[in-house]
């Protein structure tokens, strides 16, 4: 989650905040009266990939079936009406 900072604070500490964003890689959102107006992000070098494919491999577990079928409604429609 990016940090937020008022525009007046950002104006006073601009260079230090830009250096911090570059060092930590954590973006900064500049706000004016509580509304975001700008986002400061670090620039990646061309040799550094943005997304590493397979980086999360082996970290997810399936706890139950991903797909379920519920035919109960179809079966009730095919039943003859009960008298009583």
Residue-wise pLDDT tens digits, 37-76: 999 998 876 676 666 677 777 777 777 776 776 666 666 6
Model confidence at 79: pLDDT above 80: no
- Quick one: pLDDT at residue 78? 59
Tokens coding 67: 């797909």
Which of the 8 DSSP states describes residue 38? E
In the chain, the domains with their CATH numbers are 1-43 (3.40.1620.10)
Other C-beta atoms lying within 10 Å of the C-beta of residue 52: 8
CB 39 within 8 A of CB 29: yes
């Amino acid at each position: 989650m990016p940090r937020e900072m008022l525009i007046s604070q950002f104006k006073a500490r601009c260079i230090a905040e830009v250096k911090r964003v570059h060092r930590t890689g954590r973006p900064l959102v500049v706000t004016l009266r509580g509304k975001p107006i700008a986002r400061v992000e670090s620039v990646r070098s061309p040799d550094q990939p943005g997304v590493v494919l397979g980086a999360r491999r082996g970290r997810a577990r399936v706890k139950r079936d991903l797909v379920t079928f519920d035919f109960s409604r179809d079966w009730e429609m095919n039943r003859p009406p009960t008298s009583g």
